[in-house]
Copies of this chain bind each other. A is one copy, B any other.
Amino acid sequence: MGYALVLKYAYTKKKRWFSLIRVGIFGYGNLGRGVELSIKQNPDMTLVAVFTRRDPSTVKILTEGVGVYHVDSVLDFKDKIDVMVLCGGSATDLPVQTPFLAEHFNVVDSFDTHAKIPNHFENVDPVSKKAGKVAIISVGWDPGMFSLNRLMASCILVDGKDYTFWGKGVSQGHSDAIRRINGVIDAKQYTIPVEEALESVRAGENPELTTRQKHTRLCYVVAEDDADLNRIENEIKTMPNYFSDYDTTVNFISLEELKREHSGIPHGGVVIRSGKTGKDLENTHIIEYKLKLDSNPEFTASVIVAYARAAYRMNQEGACGCKTVFDIAPAYLSPKDGAELRKSFL
């Protein structure tokens, strides 16, 4: 087989050899590239192969000496990859790919259609159990780290209320929706939390917030020269599901300005739980988890790679079946052993 020699062992500062975790990337878009970059930051992991539906000769990756293969050849790598990271989309890719690959590999995916997660779990769990592999689904920051914080905060503050705000950040779905409007060349949409709503939640006021009161939407749109800007603005602002329930601002700009000022993919958000304790519930507590991300796909990828380590390590200990972030003891995310973690992080 023509693929690069994989160094399966590395030598640590503590002067012992350890086995590298051999990772495969299945799907090479923004997320796949993020996973590739993250693997470079983790010295206990090594990239073995990238799989693509495109012609492999047209796909250039960042890691020297690592091969790109067509997805059809993935099963040739059954014994050469410890964890396969799935980087496809949630709409049509992952519902098929995750159950298929979970039969042969430990896998991690970032399936993010919240309402369909229970169904996805049911499709993946029996397959991975039968194969004796670990499949961790819906990893990232939401679902993922935000879910974890919602769960843990609700277990600690039993009498309380949860809030999730997203942004400031780019919503790909909303940007795409604008691009589909007649006369629009390109567009970027930012979701922005409403500062007054955030402050009220942080003050423990437990407000009831409508959709409109939580987020605003800010759009930068490049229109064709002869387009009717009023019509486009109106079509955006009245678009059901995407914009009609929000206060939306539309700015028309040039393609040059869009490329110069809005080419990044920042995102972030905050999960807050406000809860009460005490004899008469007289004490208020606020738990807040906040992310501010320059690159949404690179951060998501970094979370996924940490959970890829967990998938491998848990499988080494005999675990199998479908898991989510709720089922993973945090120690599995780290390359350090228990004694080191207790000493440095507790």
Contact = CB atoms under 8 A, between A and B. Distances in A.
Interface of A: 34, 37-38, 41-42, 62, 114, 117-118, 121, 138, 143, 145, 147-152, 154-159, 202, 277-279, 282-295, 298-299, 301-303, 306, 309, 324-331, 333-334, 338-339, 341-343, 345-346
Please list the 8 inter-chain residue pairs (A to B) with the smallest Cβ-Cβ separation, ordered nearest first: A283-B294, A155-B333, A326-B331, A286-B292, A277-B298, A283-B295, A288-B290, A41-B158
A205 to B, nearest CB: 13
A330 B154 CA distance: 11
A5 B112 CA distance: 48
B302 A154 contact: no
Given A155-B306, A277-B41, A327 B324 contact: no
B339 A118 contact: yes
Contacts of A342: 117-118, 121, 324, 326
16 contacts: A62-B279, A147-B346, A151-B331, A155-B334, A156-B333, A277-B299, A277-B301, A285-B292, A285-B293, A285-B302, A286-B290, A286-B291, A286-B292, A324-B342, A324-B346, A325-B330
A149 B295 CA distance: 21
A202 B268 CA distance: 13
Contact of A298 (B155, B283, B290, B302): B283
Given A158-B302, A298-B278, A333-B152, A117 B292 contact: no
A140 to B, nearest CB: 11
Contacts of A202: 292
A151 B324 contact: no
Contact of A329 (B118, B159, B327): B327
A21 to B, nearest CB: 13
How many copies of this chain does one complex carry? 2
B278 A295 contact: yes
Contacts of A338: 326-327
Contacts of A334: 151, 154-155
Task: Report whether over half of chain A's contact residues are helix, strand or loop; otherwise say mixed.
Answer: helix
A146 to B, nearest CB: 9
B345 A326 contact: yes
Nearest to A159: B41
Contacts of A287: 145, 289-291
A37 B325 CA distance: 30
A277 B295 contact: yes
A331 B148 CA distance: 9
Nearest to A264: B283
A269 to B, nearest CB: 11
A258 to B, nearest CB: 20
Contact of A346 (B34, B143, B333): B143
Q: Interface centre among A121, A147, A277, A284, by most B CB within 10 Å?
A: A277
Contacts of A148: 330
Nearest to A299: B285
Nearest to A203: B292
Contacts of A324: 341-342, 346
Contact of A341 (B62, B151, B303, B333): B151
A302 B341 contact: no
B37 A277 contact: yes
A149 B294 CA distance: 20
